[in-house]
A and B are shown apart, each in its own frame.
Chain A
Amino acid sequence: MKEAEIRKLLAANLLSVFSVVLSAVVPAFFWDGFTVLGTHLAWLCICSVCVSTLNIILHLVLKPNLSPKRSSFAHKISRFLKCCIYFFMSCILFHAIIVLYGAPLIESVTETFLFAVLLSAFTTLQCLCMLGPNIQAWIRVFSKNGAMSIWESSLQITTMCSILGAWFGAFPIPLDWDRPWQV
């Protein structure tokens, strides 16, 4: 049982990595002039869509969280709507935090927002898939020793690392390697 779980988890994470790599490579075959840096807006879109769809598909296929009781259709719909609202709110919140960190408020607002969406796709969406729109479960998972299964610890680690990665990503901003040297 445990072995199978771990194998599933490994496959899921490998697929996620693969989808990110593919989102950077594959569009270049269909679209002339596509590069990750050159057309960064498009790449941000493609990458977040890829990761989101993959997450949702994985969730539907693997069903890591055991939800034994059958719920009604209306309940499912409301759950889904709640998830959408939460996702949107997390995008807005990330956007606000990025702006507070110094991103321009009006200029390049699309870039900022797409970055927020990408970050949400890596963090909030996973949580929503795994735990549903249940705040108490979230708090439980993200407090110390709160993870009950390997799925939840994996969720903990990936979310943390996504945010830390975004945080470390700001480090090269002051470097002036893009400009000619001046004395």
Chain B
Amino acid sequence: GMVSNWTKIPLPLFKKVVIVLIDALRDDFVFGSKGKQFMPYTTQVVEKGTSYSFIAEAKPPTVTMPRIKALMTGSIPGFIDVIVNLNSPALLDDNLIWQAKTAGKRIIFYGDDTWVKLFPKHFLEYDGTTSFFVSDFTEVDDNVTRHLDRVLKREDWDLLILHYLGLDHIGHMTGPNSPLVGPKLREMDNILKKIHISLLSKEEASLPNLLVVCGDHGMSETGSHGGSSAGEVHTPLLFISSAFEKRSGPLTHPELVQQTDLASTLAVGLGLPISRNSVGNLILPVVGGKTMREQLRFLHLNGFQLSRLLQENTPVYEKDPGYEHFKIAEKSHSNWIKLYLEGNNSEILLNLGKKVLKQYLEALKTLSSSLSRQVAQYDMYSMMVGTVIIMEVKNTSFCEKAKCTNIKVSAIFILFTPAFLLPALRLVSFYILITNDLNNSGIIVHCASSNVSTFSVRFTYMNIQVFICFHHGYIFFCLQNPVVSSSRWSEVDVLILAGTIGHVLSLGASSFIEEEHQTWYFLINTLCLVLCQELCRNNFLLKECDPQHSTTVKQNFDSIGETSECENIDILAAGDSKLGKATSSAEFIKGSDKWISLASPWIILICCRLLRSLNQTGVQWAHRPDFGHWLTSSDHKSELSFLAAVSLLMIFFLVQRRCSLVSKIAMALGLLGVYSYRAAIGNVIFPWQHDSKDISKGITEARFVYVFVLGIVFTGTKDLLKSQVISADSSVKSTGLWEVYSGLVLLAALLFRPHNLPVLVFCLLIQTMMKKYIWRTLKFDAAQITVTHCWFGQAFFYFQGNSNGIATVDVSAGFVGLESYVEIPAIFLTAFATYAGPLLWAFHLLCYLSSEVSRNSAAVGHGCFCYALMRSVPVAIYIVLVTGLRYHLFIWSVFSPKLLYEGVHVFITATICLLFTAMDQNHSHKVQD
């Protein structure tokens, strides 16, 4: 606590304070047309009652836990809090609740149990509600309201905090314009009315009561939050008390304040010291009813606390304009006090006081803005160490690959890599400890998030490095394999190289990160067109070289006009380097197959276009209407059900063809289970069911599916092990791999929202078409196939509706089939659902390459190397870029979430590489035998 040179803390201004926090309450839900329509009582209080209304601006990340911290401590939490949002530890910083408890205030809390975790022993009485069952709209709020009547009658409390979650859940599931929002707002309005009337009736002569209504964050046009769009950061903030003057005159637009200002204001209102790390300003109108002397004193307390915080954080605080302003204001304040004590009580004194007031307000504003700027301090040293290690690992691996030396060197390298990495790792973890310590002790250092991610990235690099070393003998440098290096580069190679470089360079611009999905869509489209050109060339030019076929070609001319024209216009660079190669590998494909193979790039393009309009993502065009929102709106439930059923059916047909009979049956039952799970939680309906009356959590159905997922994966693993132990033919192995893959597909089908099931269908469809019609005809090498899979995996990450913002992570996937929040399964399921696209593509690559082992024995090892390279080069360069851009305006809103995404993705890549290596090991054993 902070005590100014007036030793005694002023007396409280309010007797009882009720804070009603409505999760995801956006400003227009109260001040806009929705507020007028659905919250009549609140609107009346705002317009004519004794109240002050503001718009409080929340800082990103707009996620509940950091927002609660901001509201209660007045400080600005960083991105590290997003990660720990799932499992919040107790808050150790100085905060309002702690101050209130120390001052002997009795606090009661009902609502989101994040509060209970943050403030474990602070509440006299509490009832926490878990916020993770996003599909629950009513129970979460009834759980809070049921206590209300009783507690309002009681007299044994001073501070009542209510945190309502229903609105946030409605936003997540159906968006801000859904018909469910209105009734929920009306419910909230009735609750506010009840509390207000009860507070008024209890009021005694001594001290008035205060009702505070606020939101922790808003919601975007799609109903999610986490980012920094206007809808997400603007929340209403209402102070209602009989102490205020009745609002008169025309209604003005509410003034904009910071969310952190609430902590200081409430501290003053409750007569508590302002918490140490608060960067908030006192909201003056709330204490406007007091005398000038008192008002000046409150402002002085606030300014004193802020300047102390500045002194702790900057050595050159005396040169800070805020500090200078504060000193000037303090001086004129003391002059004013002198005049006041002399008994001078005229109009002049009042005007003078107003002037001092203005000076103070100016000083406070400058102080808190310079403090907010201070927030980002970086641990440059550990960041540099991390970057250097990453680059070093990368370079060594490059040199190794280029030289392609013997096994002895690689053996030494295996021993050497961990040896030089371990001390460095220890060093880094030491730095993380220090920064965390600093965090807790109160100085606002937020480099921890970047540290954690670089740390994880670094760790995984070590893994990848070791894995790569294992199958060192098979690896060739990506584009230097014999086939390509002997001839000129084909268009596909040029595109792959240019695309990779272009994508990596684009990571330096915030807009390109926000809209990264467009980069990937653009690249895969171009890739498809180049593949189409390659296919045309293979099919037509070869025929022309062959005199026997020239007559048939001529006959077909009119019908093929369009296709050959597309060849002409799609050529990106002249040259026919592949001609010789293709001639040698030419197969005589049957007529119909040839046409399908020519049409397949176009079908893939059409699929991608459809998926693109399924989920609008990114930032700039995220608000555009898309097919996904149309489907999820409650009016189109039957369409959604039909689509989900058709998709599940298609998934079955696409997956079953290579499974054993048992897995086929298990798959069918599992997919049925998926549908009944979605029906149970009320997303889809059965045709015979007309009223959706009983909505459950679908625990039984989901667990039923889990059993089949585990069963299928287990059968697949058994086959794999069998093929390893008894060196059976490779068909057993590829069946095993495919079964594991189909198990993962089933899991993804369970976790995906029903409107995203077409993504899964198209994913399987495109994979099948590529495998059957494109690779078979083109005879590409492993590197090209790997890069294609990698790109499609990335594109499918965005097709699912993901983006590089935190807001789009579908947390509800982590609670499928779970009664309550269990940390490890929830994290695993959420990660799987988020990265399902890249994961399924990588796994399919593994299936494909290991089924091609007979043709190219080094394919798996080569593919693994290319995959690791394709994933690690962008990450490594991105880390360097982020380090360089750490003072960028958007570092917290754009670059750090992307870094988190990349960090997690690298972990997943490492797992995939491990799998690849295991498969390759099997094979190498067999070769040695």
Contact = CB atoms under 8 A, between A and B. Distances in A.
A49 B579 CA distance: 39
A181 B514 contact: no
Interface in B56-106: none
A181 B577 contact: no
Interface stretch (B302-310, B518-526, B725-733): B518-526
A67 interface: no
A19 interface: no
Contacts of A138: 564-565, 568
Interface in A151-170: 156, 159-160, 163-164, 167, 170
Interface in A23-43: none
A173 interface: yes
A93 B521 CA distance: 19
Interface in A101-147: 101-102, 105, 123-124, 127, 135, 138-139, 142-144, 146
Contacts of A182: 228-230
A150 B416 CA distance: 59
A101 B609 CA distance: 7
Contacts of A94: 569
A77 B55 CA distance: 72
B536 to A, nearest CB: 9
Contacts of A164: 572
A102 B512 contact: no
A173 B562 contact: no
Contacts of A93: 562, 565-566, 569
Given A101-B522, A135-B557, A175-B511, A160 B571 contact: yes
Contact of A160 (B521, B522, B573): B573
Interface in B883-902: 889-890, 893
Contact of B605 (A100, A143, A159): A100
A176 B540 CA distance: 44
B609 A139 contact: no
A58 to B, nearest CB: 21
B515 interface: yes
A183 B511 contact: no
A100 B889 contact: no
A127 B569 CA distance: 10
A123 B526 contact: no
A170 B502 CA distance: 13
A176 B511 contact: yes
A90 interface: yes
Contacts of B564: 135, 138-139
B862 interface: no
Nearest to A103: B609
A54 interface: no
B148 to A, nearest CB: 38
Contacts of B537: 143
Interface in B547-572: 557, 561-562, 564-572
Contact of B569 (A124, A143, A183): A124
B57 to A, nearest CB: 10
Contacts, number: 98
B541 interface: yes
B693 to A, nearest CB: 39
A39 B570 CA distance: 30
A94 B889 CA distance: 40
Given A135-B565, A163-B569, A143 B620 contact: no
Interface of B: prevailing SS? helix
Contacts of A181: 889
A163 B568 contact: no
A97 B568 contact: no
**Range of interface residues on A (Cβ < 8 Å):** 35 or more
A174 B518 contact: yes
B569 A90 contact: yes
A164 B572 CA distance: 7
A170 B526 CA distance: 12
A156 B574 contact: yes
Contacts of A175: 509, 511-512
A127 B564 CA distance: 14
Given A99-B609, A160-B574, A135 B569 contact: no
A97 B230 contact: no
Contact of A102 (B518, B619, B890): B518
B608 interface: yes
A183 B568 contact: no
A148 to B, nearest CB: 14
B133 to A, nearest CB: 33
Contacts of B845: none
Prevailing SS type, chain A contact patch: helix
B742 to A, nearest CB: 30
A183 B890 CA distance: 7
Contact of B577 (A86, A90, A144, A156): A144
B707 interface: no
Contacts of B518: 102, 173-174
A89 interface: yes
Most buried by B among A86, A100, A146, A174: A174
B435 to A, nearest CB: 24
A102 B612 contact: yes
A183 B889 contact: yes
B529 interface: yes
Contacts of B557: 135
B575 interface: yes
Contacts of B579: 144
A30 B612 CA distance: 43
A136 B891 CA distance: 55
A89 B569 CA distance: 12
Interface in B567-606: 567-577, 579, 605-606
A6 to B, nearest CB: 20
Contacts of B613: 105
Given A90-B565, A144-B574, A170-B522, A139 B540 contact: yes
A164 to B, nearest CB: 7
A135 B566 CA distance: 11
B521 to A, nearest CB: 6
A175 B557 CA distance: 44
A131 to B, nearest CB: 10
Given A139-B541, A176-B511, A183-B228, A163 B561 contact: no
Contacts of B612: 102
Q: Which of B565, B566, B572, B893 has the most CB of A within 10 A?
A: B565
A160 B529 contact: no
B514 A174 contact: yes
Contacts of B529: 97
- Which of A90, A138, A143 neighbours the largest number of chain B CB atoms within 10 Å of its CB? A143
Nearest to A85: B561
Given A174-B511, A183-B228, A139 B574 contact: no
Contacts of A135: 557, 561, 564-565
A174 B522 CA distance: 11
B575 A144 contact: yes
A16 to B, nearest CB: 18
Interface string B208-235: 0000000000000000000011100000
A170 B519 CA distance: 10
Interface string B453-488: 000000000000000000000000000000000000
Contacts of A179: 620
Per CB-CB distance, the 3 closest pairs between chain A and chain B, nearest first, are A174-B515, A144-B576, A144-B575
Interface of B: 228-230, 509, 511-512, 514-515, 518-519, 521-522, 525-526, 529, 537, 540-541, 544, 557, 561-562, 564-577, 579, 605-606, 608-609, 612-613, 618-620, 889-890, 893
Given A100-B525, A144-B575, A183-B889, 6 more contacts: A86-B561, A89-B561, A93-B566, A101-B522, A142-B571, A183-B228
24 contacts: A89-B562, A93-B565, A93-B569, A97-B529, A100-B606, A100-B608, A101-B525, A102-B525, A123-B569, A135-B561, A139-B544, A139-B568, A142-B574, A143-B576, A159-B569, A160-B573, A163-B569, A173-B515, A174-B512, A174-B514, A174-B618, A174-B620, A176-B619, A183-B893
